[in-house]
Amino acid sequence: MPNHLKETINKLKERGGNIKGEALLSDIEALTKIRDKKSVDIVLENMREMGEKIDLKEIKSSEWYPEYLLSSFIIVSYQFLGLTEKDIFEWGRTATKVSFIAKIILRHLVSIDKAFEECSNYWRKNYDFGNLVPVEMNSKDKYAVVRITDYLSDPLICTFHAGYFKGILEFILPSEKIEIKEERCIHRGDSYHEYLISWGEKE
């Protein structure tokens, strides 16, 4: 077992913060969509060998669980399944398709403007730390800027979040071509993560 991987997980654990059980379960389930159930089992087994047990049957949707479990699961998946950053992005995007909470909430977000206004509330339903801040919305030029504050994890999680944002926007703007770019990042020396979201009609 790579020592650096265990060290990374220990650092994530020290940072604290919790995620809702439903979000944890749906994000893990999404791996079965881009790979298969066997892949999930491989990751869970490797985590157990590092002393990090995730029993999916014991996780309850409405309860809080340490966020590092999800970040660790993604990092271990990248290490042992040979995933690419493109895979991680698609994983985040797919997570919105299997999340029960996402589907319920997004039914009420009938416009990009409404989604922009409600993004902080949506974040707080899934995380008890950090925040998703609406920074700028330009409906005319078809772009928006959102910021994640007080969230220090791993660069792979930045990619996962970018994919997740795209998945959410695809619910609201199914006929549009959506692009996501992380323009600022804590891992590049910035004090927060900032994403530029743009959309336009598909060719």
pLDDT at 157: 97
pTM of the model: 0.93
The residue type of 48 is: R
Residue with tokens 């398709």: 97
Q: At what angle do helices 68-80 and 37-49 cross, to 10 degrees?
A: 110
pLDDT at 76: 96
pLDDT at 2: 65
Q: Report which of 167, 154, 175, 199 is spatially closest to residue 103, judged by C-alpha positions.
A: 167
Strands, sheet with 193-201, edge to edge from the N-terminal-most edge strand: 131-138, 143-149, 193-201, 176-184
The segments of the chain whose pLDDT lies below 50 read none
pLDDT at 48: 94
pLDDT at 106: 65
pLDDT at 109: 64
Say yes or no: domain 100-201 is CATH 3.90.1520.10: yes
The C-alpha atoms of residue 118 and residue 114 are separated, in whole angstroms, by: 6
pLDDT at 189: 96
Domain with CATH 3.90.1520.10 in the chain: 100-201
Residue 144: strand, helix, or coil: strand
